[in-house]
Structure 1
Amino acid sequence: MENYTFNSLTLQLEGLNVSKGYLYPAFLFILFSYLFIIVANVGIVVLVFIDKNLQQPMYLLLCNLPFNDILGNSILVPRLLIDILRPPSERLISYPECVLQAFTTHMFGTTCHTVLIIMAFDRYVAICNPLRYASIMTNKMVIKLTVSAWGVAFVMVGILLGLTIRLNRCRTMIESPYCDNAGLFKLSCESVFINNVYGLTFTVVLFTFSIGSMVITYSKITVVCLTSKSQSLNSKALKTCSTHLVVYLIMIFSGMSIIALHRFPQYSDYRKLSTVLFHIVPGSLNPIVYGVQSKEIRRFFSNLFRSKKVFALK
């Protein structure tokens, strides 16, 4: 075996297979999607911190989602845009950068689940224990939930990547549009049995806990709404929970699509596309869903645009 192929610090990304006719349309679609993700999500975070009416536990927990979307897409998309315009032979990436990209990618996916879980807990307390909401969802509790969501994801992904970087590498081709854990451990000629076992366990535990939490939470909320005669409570539950549920379903459908397509090697190009859309679609739709459904966010933008019109008329 040649020395340059053994633990090489320079890897090659396969990238997206885009025909010449769709090269620039694909580039522009991803570019404008990325710009929208950054502007919309930064806008929501800034909005929550400058508007005192939005400094509530629900919106403070919500800020975790746009922050995760910004972080996950900023590490992945700029590099992807550059590689789209490069010929395949020039899509090179250093091993440390590849590990960082893989870590960020898996943190993005895992944190989507953990953040939506703590947001579901907030909705459960607000609807099922409204009188105790203020005493339970204190600023201290919001901080604890946020640290837990990011901390659990960090530990789980850290172990996932830690098991991979211990392996020696004898290949250099990452068969994916960007670096991920599977692409990295497939570079090794050693046994990856432990990696496969932990990866499968990781996925099963995450999805089981995530889906299980949603089922239990929304079952209890539904029971409370059905037994309650308060129209205001039911209206509040419908508005806040439907938003949260739509965001969760978008995320779970995107993730399940990738897992399903892994079972069909003949659709590898579709799988690669779905891995890119997993970052772009939720990141683009989340601010739209919350912006449309949130009365406070709509009111803020309405007042902002109204004041601009008045200023322009003057």
Structure 2
Amino acid sequence: MEKANSTLGTQFILSTFSDLHKYQTVLFVVFLFILVITVLGNLTILVLTCSDSQLQSPMYFFLGNLSFVDICMTLVTVPQMLKNFLLELHGRVISFEGCIAQVYFFLKFANVEDFLLAVMAYDRYIAICDPLHYVVVMHKRLRIRFIVGCWLLSTANAVLHAGLTSRLSYCQSNFLNHFLCDMVPLFKIACSDISINQLVIFTEGSIVVAGPFILIVVSYIFIMRAIFKIRSAEGRRKVFSTCSSHLIVVTFYFGTILFTYFRPPSSFSQTKNWVASLMYTIFAPMFNPFIYSLRNKDVQQAAQRFLTKNKPV
């Protein structure tokens, strides 16, 4: 690490919506509510998919893993925000090591979600396009391999980007105009060359994001073809309903990621960047369990069985 990191770079100040200083208490309450709802909602999905005998299919196995990742993502970002809302701007500090750790874990969980959504799209493809072999193809060992692969690839990607970010010098400013330590705001205050970091984002990073996204698109092309071959409108509706929740989550999640990281610097807007980052880091994990539960009768019935089984006498 360069010497510059031993001065201003030893800690950073996160703005965390400091421009809205009159509403810090309100923001604290709002994001505390989001944290509680997100953890409870995803924990509910996780408990149901693990305990209910009728939710032991591959689809719900992956859904349970998605809920676990969403909990992790929220715990990486929101607690730091809540602490900062209670402090004056000069007190909203995070150490250099803590900042790089947040970059690492944030990228890790975000990438796991990327790959997991692609795996879930493949699962829906097999279920709709080859239903007779679904159970045989999506056997337990394959599902476990998929999950292990998601975590290994995501860890490698996070290590690469966090390592490259940690090598930068921050000798001009230690003020991060963001609510979390992320690569984009760190690049803006770096005084060393960031061309390697940007090159890796637009090459390796594009593959990590575009790879799962392309797999999802291809899967849904085949899914749509299979749906259009169904003659009855009711049959098409029933089949489409099995993947509509996943399609909504994918559109919401990947749309904001692509907007945040893969657009030209000339179009950068801090406000737009904040909004996009909030969407996929905080609001997406909160909405996911509701999207899947409100549009899924199996999850609703499992919740009813769980409540009936654990109802106090």
- The normalised TM-score by structure 2 is 0.89
**1:51-103, CA deviations, whole angstroms, 9 ceiling, x for partnerless residues?**
11111111111122111111111021011111122111111111111111111
Deviation, 1:18, is 4.1
What residue in structure 2 maps to residue 36 of structure 1?
A: 37
Deviation, 1:229, is 4.5
- 1:93 match: secondary structure: strand
Deviation, 1:33, is 0.7
Checking the alignment, whether the CA contact within 8 Å between 1:57 and 1:142 is kept in structure 2 is: yes
1:112 is the counterpart of 2:109? no
- 2:18 match: secondary structure: coil
Distance in 2 (alpha carbons) for counterparts of 1:298 and 1:236: 17
Distance in 1 (alpha carbons) for counterparts of 2:23 and 2:191: 36
What residue in structure 2 maps to residue 249 of structure 1?
A: 251
What residue in structure 1 maps to residue 304 of structure 2?
A: 302
Deviates more, 1:217-226 or 1:185-194: 185-194
Deviates more, 1:138-147 or 1:275-284: 275-284
What residue in structure 1 maps to residue 142 of structure 2?
A: 141
What residue in structure 2 maps to residue 68 of structure 1?
A: 69
What residue in structure 1 maps to residue 229 of structure 2?
A: 227
CA distance 1:23–1:175, change in 2 (3 Å): closer
Deviation, 1:236, is 4.4
- The normalised TM-score by structure 1 is 0.88
Checking the alignment, whether the CA contact within 8 Å between 2:73 and 2:281 is kept in structure 1 is: yes
What residue in structure 2 maps to residue 159 of structure 1?
A: 160
Alignment length (residue pairs): 309
Distance in 2 (alpha carbons) for counterparts of 1:300 and 1:38: 19
Q: Aligned letter for 2:218?
A: I
Deviation, 1:185, is 4.3
Q: Identity, % of aligned pairs?
A: 26
What residue in structure 1 maps to residue 208 of structure 2?
A: 206
Q: Aligned letter for 2:137?
A: I
CA distance 1:17–1:249, change in 2 (3 Å): same
What residue in structure 2 maps to residue 25 of structure 1?
A: 26
RMSD: 2.6
Q: Aligned letter for 1:215?
A: V
Checking the alignment, whether the CA contact within 8 Å between 1:44 and 1:63 is kept in structure 2 is: yes
Distance in 2 (alpha carbons) for counterparts of 1:115 and 1:288: 18
Q: Aligned letter for 2:62?
A: L
Deviation, 1:111, is 2.1
- 2:143 match: secondary structure: helix
Distance in 2 (alpha carbons) for counterparts of 1:109 and 1:176: 17
Distance in 1 (alpha carbons) for counterparts of 2:264 and 2:26: 24
What residue in structure 1 maps to residue 184 of structure 2?
A: 182
Unaligned runs of 5+ residues in structure 2 are none
**1:120-169, CA deviations, whole angstroms, 9 ceiling, x for partnerless residues?**
11111111111111111111010011111222222122211122223344
Q: Aligned letter for 1:182?
A: V
Checking the alignment, whether the CA contact within 8 Å between 2:54 and 2:302 is kept in structure 1 is: no
**Which of 269, 282, 287 is residue 280 of structure 1 equivalent to?**
282
CA distance 1:69–1:3, change in 2 (3 Å): closer
What residue in structure 2 maps to residue 12 of structure 1?
A: 13
Deviates more, 1:49-58 or 1:182-191: 182-191
Deviates more, 1:165-174 or 1:225-234: 225-234
Distance in 2 (alpha carbons) for counterparts of 1:153 and 1:270: 26
Distance in 2 (alpha carbons) for counterparts of 1:253 and 1:168: 31
Distance in 2 (alpha carbons) for counterparts of 1:32 and 1:231: 41
Q: Aligned letter for 1:97?
A: G
Unaligned runs of 5+ residues in structure 1 are none
